[in-house]
A and B are shown apart, each in its own frame.
Chain A
Amino acid sequence: MSELPLRFSSGRVRAAFAFMVAVGLVLPHLVYPVLVMNVLCMALFASAFNLLLGYAGLLSFGHAAFLGTAGYLAGYGLKVLGLSTELALLLGTASAALLGALVGGLAIRRSGIYFAMITLGFAQLVYFLAVQMPFTGGDDGLQGVPRGRVLGLFSLEGNLRAYYFVYLVFLGAFFLLYRTIHSPFGHVLRAIRENEPRALSLGYDVDRYKLLAFVVSAALSGLAGAMKTVVFQSETLTDVHWLMSGEVILMTLLGGLGTVLGPSVGALVVLLLENGLAGFGSYTTVITGVVFVVGVLAFRRGFVGEALGLMRKFPF
């Protein structure tokens, strides 16, 4: 993780982004839009998670709590309160940010591996609450959630319309993350990851930086969860389960820890894998586990990390 960053000219970066944006515009006409929307939601989730693990070096094993809480509250807002879509997303994001401030505030009191165990514990607490609270629908989940109208005007019925809305939100959130990573704040996070005592002795209030990173990461994970509810028009316990917390780690690891594009690539790969494996039924977990083990043992830099390594070796 401590390698020097590869410097791209800003023109190249812009060209790459323009290409991606173009692909995203055409894609729903070639592939089933719901599939692409799912990838976008999980890509945002993994990118938000990566801010914490890849840049601040904090392993949260409980990020499903933010995805799920926001998903449930956005669903509740749309279905019961009759909110417009953007307000429901806002409700989800804000609730995840609040939860992030609570969990993060407690978790950063310990470091290293304890941090992972604490976040996992609190996520399990949220899971049990989701199981027991009446409004979540327990095992049945929250079903039949309307997609609502953006600003109360534009209906999102119809997958293509929904897609372009989700795509717009994704681009905005992704750009926000990109700016965060490359801001002075992002550089301080990296300094903390590399050498916390030194960052502290340089006068940085390490705990405040960590907490802020945690809250931003939780909030954007929440945005991803709320969007997921809008896309699938339902929310279930899967999104708050610890398996989901593991899955986002897997996506980030496979794509490339601490790279801007890695988590999105990882999300795409993992979801394609799961789609392809749907026929294998109960072997899906086993194969996910195998991918995890192989990834940790032999592929720690991930796809984007390896690609960057190659580009460093053979500059063109």
Chain B
Amino acid sequence: MQALFGQLLLGLINGSFYALLSLGLAIIFGLLDIVNFAHGTLYMMGAFAAYLLLSEFQVGFFPALFLAPAAVGLFGIVVERTMLRRLYRLDSLYGLLLTFGLALIIEGLFHHRYGNSGTPYPVPELLRGGLALPFMYLPLYRAFAVVTAALVCFGAWLVIERTRLGSYLRAGTENPRLSQAFGLNVPLMRTLTYGFGSALAAFAGVMAAPIYQVSPAMGSNLVIVVFAVVVIGGMGSIAGSILTGLGLGVVEGLTRYLYPEASSVVVFLVMAGVLLLRPAGLFGRTR
């Protein structure tokens, strides 16, 4: 029982990371027409930024939760301004290849500097310990992670679907040229969107740091799973991406409890099933 709920909780946490990352991928793809392979790398950079803030500057977890995404977001803005914008007129496969190259460069550099093995990041003082619930022991930090990630997902959904800023973004996604003709600054929106998506990924990375080891390889394996999540959910709807992410995290957690050997592949098996039964994805609109 204890093990089952523990795995479900971990699944929920992973699921919320999937949700945050696939959300970022979806809005970046929507506006920039680029599948951001470097998304996992940005997540890794977020975790490393938190680690460096702590070890070099004694800056704790909570400030890092804002500083790290801000720094990575800025990095994203620079990447968009200097490189990605040269590719908008080309086939979207070049965007995937460019971000793949970027991921190799950044991961290689971190790998060179910090080696292969992970570094632990301590759970913040305030969130140590846990609650003994009747059916399980609930570590405080993990409860915090689930709730915070869910709030951020909900916040992002609210901004995109319910505010004026979000309506600009949706208009730009729907038809960039027409939006530009109506006076929207689409190039600026693209820059900001890439920055925002990068920041979201880094935010997930900071949240992940106390749960997993901080290591250069933590992002690239994750991004492949997130791609599968995106295929399963379809990039058509924001709420859809969030639900798919959470749901698959839970499925993965359940598998880890029932049949641990399959836990690393279950998402890909679900992807195969979805492609067979609902080729457009659970929430997708088009091929």
Give B72-108 interface residues, CB cut-off 8 Å to A.
83, 86-87, 90, 92-94, 96-98, 100-108
Contacts of A25 in B (CB 8 A): none
Type the 1/0 row for B92-129, where 1 means its CB is closer than 8 Å to any CB of A.
11101110111111111101100000000000000000
Give B257-278 interface residues, CB cut-off 8 Å to A.
261, 264-265, 267-269, 271-272, 275-276
Type the 1/0 row for B234-275, where 1 means its CB is closer than 8 Å to any CB of A.
000000000000000000000000000100110111011001
Evaluate contact between B275 and A109: CB separation under 8 angstroms. Answer: yes
Evaluate contact between B104 and A285: CB separation under 8 angstroms. Answer: yes
In the complex, whether B231 has a CB less than 8 A from a CB of chain A is yes
**Shortest distance from the beta carbon of B159 to any chain A beta carbon, whole Å:** 25
In the complex, whether A143 has a CB less than 8 A from a CB of chain B is no
**Shortest distance from the beta carbon of B199 to any chain A beta carbon, whole Å:** 22
Evaluate contact between B93 and A121: CB separation under 8 angstroms. Answer: no
Known A128-B264, A286-B108; contact A293-B96, beta-carbon cutoff 8 A: no
Q: Give which listed residue, B101, B109, B275, contacts A110 with CB less than 8 A.
A: B275
Evaluate contact between B92 and A117: CB separation under 8 angstroms. Answer: no
Evaluate contact between B268 and A122: CB separation under 8 angstroms. Answer: yes
Evaluate contact between A293 and B276: CB separation under 8 angstroms. Answer: no
In the complex, whether B228 has a CB less than 8 A from a CB of chain A is yes
Interface of B (DSSP majority class) = helix
In the complex, whether A238 has a CB less than 8 A from a CB of chain B is no
In the complex, whether B208 has a CB less than 8 A from a CB of chain A is no
In the complex, whether A167 has a CB less than 8 A from a CB of chain B is no
Known A128-B265, A296-B87; contact A117-B94, beta-carbon cutoff 8 A: no
- Tell me, in angstroms, the Cα distance from A107 to B227 when the chains sit together: 13
**Shortest distance from the beta carbon of B228 to any chain A beta carbon, whole Å:** 4
- Tell me, in angstroms, the Cα distance from A246 to B102 when the chains sit together: 12
Evaluate contact between B105 and A289: CB separation under 8 angstroms. Answer: yes
- Tell me, in angstroms, the Cα distance from A290 to B100 when the chains sit together: 10
B33: nearest chain-A partner, CB-CB: A113
B112: nearest chain-A partner, CB-CB: A282
- Tell me, in angstroms, the Cα distance from A301 to B282 when the chains sit together: 37
- Tell me, in angstroms, the Cα distance from A59 to B220 when the chains sit together: 19
- Tell me, in angstroms, the Cα distance from A135 to B198 when the chains sit together: 41
- Tell me, in angstroms, the Cα distance from A282 to B101 when the chains sit together: 16
In the complex, whether B224 has a CB less than 8 A from a CB of chain A is yes
- Tell me, in angstroms, the Cα distance from A266 to B261 when the chains sit together: 38
Type the 1/0 row for A285-301, where 1 means its CB is closer than 8 Å to any CB of B.
11011111101110010
Known A282-B108, A286-B109, A296-B94; contact A246-B100, beta-carbon cutoff 8 A: yes
Contacts of B101 in A (CB 8 A): 288-293, 295-296
Evaluate contact between A122 and B107: CB separation under 8 angstroms. Answer: no
Evaluate contact between A285 and B111: CB separation under 8 angstroms. Answer: yes
**Shortest distance from the beta carbon of B275 to any chain A beta carbon, whole Å:** 5
Evaluate contact between B102 and A285: CB separation under 8 angstroms. Answer: no
Contacts of A128 in B (CB 8 A): 264-265
Known A110-B287, A121-B227; contact A59-B96, beta-carbon cutoff 8 A: yes
In the complex, whether B8 has a CB less than 8 A from a CB of chain A is no
Evaluate contact between B96 and A116: CB separation under 8 angstroms. Answer: yes
Give A105-152 interface residues, CB cut-off 8 Å to B.
106-107, 109-114, 116-118, 120-122, 124-125, 128-129, 132
Evaluate contact between B98 and A297: CB separation under 8 angstroms. Answer: yes
- Tell me, in angstroms, the Cα distance from A295 to B83 when the chains sit together: 12
In the complex, whether A249 has a CB less than 8 A from a CB of chain B is yes
In the complex, whether B35 has a CB less than 8 A from a CB of chain A is yes
Q: Pick 17 A–B contacts, CB within 8 A, sort by A.
A: A109-B279, A110-B287, A113-B96, A116-B96, A120-B227, A121-B231, A124-B224, A125-B265, A246-B100, A285-B104, A285-B107, A286-B108, A290-B101, A292-B98, A293-B102, A295-B101, A297-B98
Knowing that A106-B275, A118-B275 are A-B contacts, what are 8 other residue pairs whose CB atoms are under 8 Å apart, sorted by A's residue number? A109-B287, A124-B228, A124-B268, A128-B264, A253-B97, A285-B107, A286-B108, A297-B83
Binding site for A on B (CB under 8 A): 29, 35, 83, 86-87, 90, 92-94, 96-98, 100-109, 111-112, 220, 224-225, 227-228, 230-231, 261, 264-265, 267-269, 271-272, 275-276, 279-281, 287
Going nearest first, the 10 A-B pairs with the smallest beta carbon separation are: A292-B101, A289-B104, A289-B105, A285-B108, A286-B108, A109-B279, A125-B268, A293-B101, A117-B227, A121-B228
